[in-house]
Every structure is written in structure tokens, then in C-alpha cells.
Amino acid sequence: MINVSDSTDMRPKVGVDCRLSGIKHAGIGRYIEELVHVVTTDTSIHWILFFEEEHQLPWVRESDHISIRVVPIRHYTLREQLIMPIVFGKEKLDLLHVPHFNVPLLYRKFFVVTIHDLLWHEQRGSYVTTLSPLVYGIKYRGYRFVTNWAMTHSQAIFVPARTVQQSIKRLMPSVDERKIHVTYEGVEEKWFEKEQVSRNKYQGRKEKILFYTGSLYPHKNVLFVVRSLKQLPEYKLYISSSRDVFVEHFLNEVKKHGLSERVIHLGRLSDDELKTWYEKAFALVQSSLSEGFGLTGIEAMASGLPVLASDIAIFKEIYGNAFIAFDPHSEASLVNAVRQLEKSDYRALVNNGKKQAQRYSWQRMGEQTLGVYKQFLQHV
């Protein structure tokens, strides 16, 4: 049962679709959690938060200015498209924020949307999916239509980087670029806690660790790192990733390469567990062909772990001069990047990474987003 908010409350009502919040939804989940954490401190707005599960964000509590709605409807489904417009509509919202592209097409009131990337506009084909060609074709057309509709009809579009803004301008030239707002993501203070890293971190050790955290979708290009290990016999690759069909395919490919003893899948780790591994590792490797921000790299930098990353536009924007770049299509290039790090002033790169990470703030992101809400609400 969904209870409609108190009709005597004269404050503007802003809804946030939080069904993708929490750690199990990776970067998007983190974004939504941090957004809610910041914006709901404003008591001049009545916040209506929509979750898929009870206690999805355990720290969120109902109060005079926060109402919680539990709506067990999964994202990317037909039920979402048919039922969520009714759910949102009952609340008589002044503004709705859908923090991903999956805006219900039948919701015709004011909304804003976050577009984290346009990955699937550019990475497409049979290699990016486990679906049959027919089902994939139907879902892909649906994705394109919903995304394009959301950007066209929204009052504002939030993106995590200028690179994503440029992608929208290039791929969707009909979208009014004046309503695109770049709100960089952030990094929590806990990642900056002092790490125990010696200048000669691996002197005298037999093994060295490269680390990767994130999904194992094909565009993450992690098999490329696996193949590169053949030229880095002293290294092992440790991976933190939730198990899914792509993980099983990945591990099968690792076995085919005869590298099962040197590629270790740890499953999904908590932030505290990640920090422990970051203290052990030599570098984080980000071999992606496309990204929307690169949050795991920033968190690694904050923790004192150097980053080796693809020389793609998004990493150049977000990581600045604080990482060692390689060509994600050349195994020799990655090997050279590892050797370059071995010869570099490790402590200097750690310090540069920390300085770069300090440029990003979830508090600032939330305040900028709230500012856009309020600017719109003034004219409603």
C-alpha cells in the first residue's frame, strides 16, 4: 500500500527514484546513496524516496521532511514502465529525479535525469550480451528509445563528466545543451585514511599484485589484462566483482589461457576489504574501453594506490596527470606501463593521486544537484 503524502504540507515535493541505490548496484548505487545523503539535509523540501526493498539504505529514516515508499518493481522491466508512472503520479510531485536513463515513458510531469554514460550507444553487438540476437535487438531498441526520450523531455540532465556531456552533444545533437549540468562524482573521506606504503613496497617479495575492481562486462576489457600477464610472469591479478554470467565466461577464458593460478576472483568486497587489498597491491588496473567517470580509480588514488589506466578521454579528464596511461588495445603498452611504474618514484605517484582525488567531493555534487532542483522549483 502506498500512502500519499500529507496534503497540508505546503513545501515542494521532490521525489528521488532510489531503486538502484546501495553497494550491490556498484557506481550508480553509490551515486544515489551519496546524492540522497546530501540533498535530504534540506528541510525546506519534502523528500519522497522510492526504494525497491525495505532498508535498502539502512541509515535513511522517515521524518518530518522525508517519506519512504517501498515499491518492489525491478528496473529495466515492462512493469516499471507501466506501474511506476502511477506510483510517482500518486505523490503529486513537483519534481522527480530519475538517477539513470530508465525514465517511465508514461510519466508526463516534471522530471530530471542523470545520464552516467552513453556506453550502449557506442558499445553494441553480440559480444556485449548473453541474450539471443532477437531479444538483444528488441531490448537495445528499447534502451535507445527510452534514453533519447528521457534526455529530450527532462527539465535537466546531470552528467558526471564533461566527456559524457560531449558524447551527448555528439550522439544526440537535438538535445538542448543548456540543460546539461556536469556534476562530478566524489570520494568519501574514509578512503583518505593513512595507508602503510613503503617507498620500496615490493623489495624482496616474489609476487606482485595488480588489482581490478568492477564488473566484467566486455567493455571493461579485463581479458586484455589477463593476456598481458603472460609478459608479466611475476605478477598476479586479483579481481573484486560480483558473480554473474559474465564472470563465469571470464573465468572460463582465464582457464583457456592457463592462468587460473595467477588470476584470483575474490567476489564482491566491502569498502573496508577493498582498502585492505589496496594496501597489498602494487597498482590498480583500469583497462576499460569506455567509462562514465572512473570512481574506483579515484578511490584507489585516495587510498594511496597508483593507477594504470586506458588512455581514453574520460580517464584523462578525471585522473589528470596522476595516472600512468596505456593503449587498451596493446598488451605491450600495458606491460610498458607496469615497468614504468616499477622504475618511477612510487611515493610521488601516490601523492599525486591523493591530490587528484581531493578534487572530487560528494558534498559538492549533492549541493550542485540541489541547486538545480531549487532553480527549477522557483519557476513552478
One fold for 13-186+361-377 and 189-357: yes
pLDDT of 127 higher than 70:
no
Once rounded to an integer, what is the mean pLDDT over residues 369-380? 93
Q: Among 78-92, 115-129, 278-292, 300-314, whose mean pLDDT is lowest?
A: 115-129
Neighbours of 378 (CB within 10 A): 8
Question: Could you tell me which CATH class the domain 13-186+361-377 is placed in?
Answer: alpha beta
Question: Tens digits of per-residue pLDDT, 142-152?
Answer: 888 999 999 99
What pTM does this model have? 0.89
Residues 6+ apart with CB under 8 A from 291: 117, 119, 312, 314, 315
Burial class (CB in 10 A: 0-12, 13-18, 19+), 104: buried
Beta-bridge partners for 277: none
What is the domain partition of the chain in residue ranges? 13-186+361-377, 189-357
Give SS3 for 238. Answer: strand
Question: Tens digits of per-residue pLDDT, 233-280?
Answer: 999 999 998 767 788 889 999 999 999 999 999 998 999 999 999 999
CA–CA separation, 254 and 48 (whole Å): 46
Looking at residue 1, its pLDDT comes to 38
CA–CA separation, 350 and 194 (whole Å): 12
Fold of 189-357: Rossmann fold (3.40.50)
Once rounded to an integer, what is the mean pLDDT over residues 326-349? 96
Q: What percent of the chain has pLDDT over 70?
A: 91
Query: For residue 178, what is its C-alpha cell?
Result: 543548456
Q: What percent of the chain has pLDDT over 90?
A: 78
Compute, in degrees rounded to 10, the torsion defined by CA atoms 335, 340, 341, 346.
170
Looking at residue 243, its pLDDT comes to 63
Once rounded to an integer, what is the mean pLDDT over residues 344-372? 96
Give SS3 for 298. Answer: helix
More confident residue, 5 or 370: 370
CA–CA separation, 336 and 121 (whole Å): 32
Query: For residue 26, what is its C-alpha cell?
Result: 556498484
CA–CA separation, 9 and 163 (whole Å): 41
Cα–Cα nearest to 143, from 84, 103, 171, 175: 103
Phi, psi of 322 (to 5 degrees): -100, 20
Looking at residue 123, its pLDDT comes to 66
Q: Is the distance from CB of 154 to CB of 345 less than 8 angstroms?
A: no
- Per-chain mean pLDDT for the chain: 90
Q: Starting from the edge strand earliest in sequence, which strands make up the sheet with 156-159, in order?
A: 66-70, 46-51, 13-17, 95-98, 111-114, 156-159, 180-182
Neighbours of 325 (CB within 10 A): 18
Confidence of residue 126 (pLDDT cuts 50, 70, 90): low
Q: What is the 3-state secondary structure (H, E, C) of 80-135?
A: HHHHHHHHHHHCCCCEEEECCCCCCCCCCCCEEEECCCCHHHHCCCHHHCCCCHHH
Looking at residue 206, its pLDDT comes to 40
